Amino acid sequence: MPFRLGPLELCIILVIILLIFGVGKLPQVGEAIGKSLKSFRDGSSGEDEEKPKEVKSATITGTPEAVVSKTEDTPKA
């Protein structure tokens, strides 16, 4: 027999959660649950190491003369 939750049961569960944690703590509880689920998924998929961060290349805008004049105007230490 599968366990199914209808709209009434979900509303009752939501009211109980609000009574236990209060409205002020609810965002913190949601954030903690989300972080724990994310770490569980990462652990179960075998990703123990952090993903290497992608290095973004810098783009220079403007004409070459404008770039050269900006670098020449900077004081040297």
More reliable by pLDDT, 35 or 27: 35
* Domain membership of residue 26 as a residue range: 14-46
Of the candidate ranges 23-32, 40-49, 61-70, the one whose mean pLDDT is the lowest: 61-70
Tokens of 53: 């961060």
Phi, psi of 73 (to 5 degrees): -80, -15
Query: Looking at the domain assignment, is residue 67 inside a domain?
Result: no
- Alpha-carbon distance of 10 to 16, in angstroms, equals 10
- Whether 38 and 46 have beta carbons less than 8 Å apart is answered as no
Classify residue 19: in a domain, yes or no.
Answer: yes
| Number of domains composing the chain | 1
Asked whether residue 4 is domain-assigned, the answer is: no
**Structural domain contains residue 64:** no
Output the pTM of the full model: 0.41
Residue 29 falls within a domain, yes or no?
yes
- pLDDT of 3 reads 75
* 34 domain residue, yes or no: yes
Cα–Cα distance measured from residue 51 to residue 49, given in angstroms and rounded to the nearest whole number = 6
DSSP for 20-53 reads: HHHHHHHHHHHHHHHHHHHHHHHHHHT--SPPPP
